[in-house]
Amino acid sequence: MKRIKVAVSSNEDNSYEILIGQDLLGRIASDLAEAKIAHSHALVTDSNVAELYGGSLLQDLEETLSEVRMIAFPAGEQSKTRKIKSFIEDRMLESGFGRDSSVIALGGGVVGDIAGFVAATYMRGVPCVQVPTSLVACVDSSVGGKTAVDTPHGKNFIGAFYQPWRVYVDTDTLKTLGPNQLAEGLAEIIKYGVIKSENLFCYLEENIEKIYEFDDAALLEVIEESCRIKAEVVEKDEKEQNLRKILNFGHTVGHAIEQLSDYTISHGEAISAGMVIEGKIALGKTGWSAQEQQRLTGLFKRAGLPTEPPSDVSVRKIIDVMKIDKKARKGKIEMSLPERIGRMKKQGGSYGIKIGEQAITSAFKS
């Protein structure tokens, strides 16, 4: 088992550990009993994960802890709403859960985001335990404390920064994922290589097929390195004042694609196309070379990820959505762009670079 410490300190000590390894679901109940973080525990999951792992984890928790309730909601990005958040909170209130409660988020990114947001606001904040079961959640959304729900106006528009008590990355849960779900996580892992680690990028170029073969050593390597990078960034900039903006590479365009597709396009697919477009924007602006752009595009293709946005989504609509993206400032579109593989461009002291509409349009047409 691997341990990564996320040493976050803001107004209070929010530091926590990420545990990475096999058969970790079986130790959660005993860990919670020993730590005594709460009296009551809400196990929040979705309809898919509830069938796979919810029952066994619930049984472990009920045998070890005093009061536990499982709350499941329909799987999918369409459930990441204020309505579902209220549904979870109402179930907890009906069960008499007070300030001595915890929320256990068992599932992918949607579960982690919405359950984390519930934990951040329920009784003004209760401990949250993240138990990611998708590759994208293991390497990204479960780490760093970003929690949110979507609105008709945009993705992740209402949320909070709220660090978990602990993250359990049980790699055994990944073996139920299909190729498309693995590809989603690989999009985020490729991003980490671009923004912070040329070594990780090169490792993926040499070993990406092993991920699809569920090679334990390869999975552990890319998950551990991705979590280490995310932890390092979050430690230095918890609330995304500057450095943490580099984690948004590909997400300005990507979130717009997701939203305009009504979330029929997955997060990983959207941000892979987003990174290719934002890479094109970086050409001639940041030092990012055509050769590096080709390597990036080639790696996405090998991962089975799209390198172009859907043809039925207009550039004009994407630009309009990006103008009201939460990363925009004074109506100006802002992106984080690569300087070279393993390093992001800093302009005027900021990793957020304002991008004009013409540059975006040209990138889509090239």
- Which amino acids are annotated catalytic? 124, 146, 188, 230, 240, 244, 248, 251, 255, 267
| Radius of gyration from C-alpha coordinates of the chain | 20
Cβ neighbour number for residue 346 with a 10 Å cutoff: 17
Cβ neighbour number for residue 98 with a 10 Å cutoff: 14
Nearest of 341, 346, 359 to residue 297 by alpha carbon = 341
Residue with tokens 């904040």: 125
Nearest of 212, 211, 133 to residue 173 by alpha carbon = 133
C-alpha to C-alpha distance for 313 and 50, rounded to whole angstroms: 35
C-alpha to C-alpha distance for 340 and 182, rounded to whole angstroms: 26
C-alpha to C-alpha distance for 127 and 116, rounded to whole angstroms: 9
Taking a C-beta distance cutoff of 8 angstroms, is the pair 143, 4 a contact? no
Taking a C-beta distance cutoff of 8 angstroms, is the pair 115, 141 a contact? no
Taking a C-beta distance cutoff of 8 angstroms, is the pair 313, 260 a contact? yes
Q: If phi over 0 gives left and psi between -120 and 50 gives alpha, with beta otherwise, what is residue 2?
A: beta
CA geometry: angle 95, 147, 38, nearest 5 deg: 40
Tokens for 102, please give them.
Answer: 């915890």
Q: Which residues of 148-178 are buried (b: 16+ CB within 10 A; e: fewer)?
A: bbbeeebbbebbebbbbbbbbbbbebbeebe
